[in-house]
Amino acid sequence: MRSYSPAGAAGREVLVLAPHPDDEVVGCGGTAHLLAQAGARVAVVVMARGDGGIDPSGAAVDVSRRREESRACCQALGLEAPLFLGLRSDVIRADPVAAGAALARALGARRADELLVPSPLERHATHRACLLGALSSGVGRAGARWWGWGAWDALPAWDDVWEVDVAAARVAKTHGIRAHVSQDRPRGLAAASLARDASQAAFSRLSGPEPRRAVERLMDLSALARRTEGLTELAALTRAVAGWTAERSAAWARQLWADREAAAPAAGKTSGSSPA
């Protein structure tokens, strides 16, 4: 694994793609905050309405409330006010390319140098469909870096997965997650997300003058695209994945791991186990 540093991001155009309100912080909130602090312009686009979310009381989810929570979250993270496409999740899954076109219209002429998008390993079908929509949208500049984050599923410690030391963003991320009051389940969305950052830091393979205390992981989709001869082929792969069930997605992830292990030179293999 390698380390990603937001330092030197001044003037950079960054897009955070959130399938639902709260994904902007759970997936990569610490990284986004650090990029903004470094001087990047960080836009946030929320694709789905969020009316299928969870209200701890069991009441129907108030879409306007979820939008207010997302605005408060972005303010806590120091990001631009989010744009809301207001698409239904089933519509996104049925036609990800149309969702990508809506994304492009919302951004107008704006194009991103770096994009923080859902990982293709996400088991949430709407997340994978949003990735496909982004890949087909043309919102990234030529040579843009595409980074995949994990919300529902932590990313494995593969060579193409980078670490971001987000200890300095921990307070901002905590406030951002807690802004999503309607989604902070009794078992604790904020606590679970922050605990994962701490766990990834504890198992970090990277060393430094001090141990890392909070780590987010990003999958280098640009590297994956180069190996598959471009984003078009990656989009084709994601198109298949977007319609898969959680079980099939997990099986694909295990097969991808097995293929990588088989392709690695015997001398270069490292010990480890496949993802569960």
Q: Is residue 254 part of a domain?
A: no
- Identify whether 44 is part of a domain: yes
Q: Is 6 exposed, middle or buried (0-12, 13-18, 19+ CB in 10 A)?
A: buried
Q: Over the stretch 184-204, which tens digit does the pLDDT of each residue have?
A: 765 577 888 889 999 999 888
DSSP letter for each residue of 226-276 = HHTTSHHHHHHHHHHHHT--HHHHHHHHHHHHHHHHHHS-GGG--------
Looking at residue 184, its pLDDT comes to 73
Task: Please report whether residue 230 resides in a domain.
Answer: yes
For residue 145, the model assigns a pLDDT of 92
- How far is Cα 26 from Cα 99, in angstroms, rounded to an integer? 22
Model confidence over 138-159: pLDDT tens digits? 999 988 999 999 987 888 888 8
Q: Spell out the per-residue pLDDT of the chain, length 276, in tens.
A: 788 999 899 999 999 999 999 999 998 999 999 999 999 999 999 999 987 655 545 555 689 999 999 999 999 999 999 999 999 999 999 888 899 999 999 999 999 999 999 998 888 889 988 998 898 899 999 889 999 999 878 888 888 899 999 999 999 999 999 999 888 765 577 888 889 999 999 888 666 656 788 999 999 988 776 665 555 555 555 555 555 555 555 565 556 556 655 665 543 443 332 222
Q: Are strands 140-149 and 215-220 parallel, antiparallel or unpaired?
A: antiparallel
| Pairing assessment for the beta strands 41-48 and 215-220 based on DSSP bridges | unpaired
CA distances from 193 to 59, 198, 248 (A): 24, 9, 25
Asked whether residue 251 is assigned to any structural domain, the reply reads no
Contact 24, 73 (CB under 8 A): yes
70 in a structural domain:
yes
150 occurs within a structural domain: yes
Any idea what the CATH number is for the domain that residue 145 is in? 3.40.50.10320
Residue 171 lies inside a defined structural domain of this protein: yes
* Domain count of the fold of the chain: 1
Side chain identity, residue 189? L
Q: Is residue 271 part of a domain?
A: no
**Structural domain for 186, as ranges:** 2-245
Distances (CA, A) of 33 to 13, 189, 204, 259: 13, 19, 21, 35
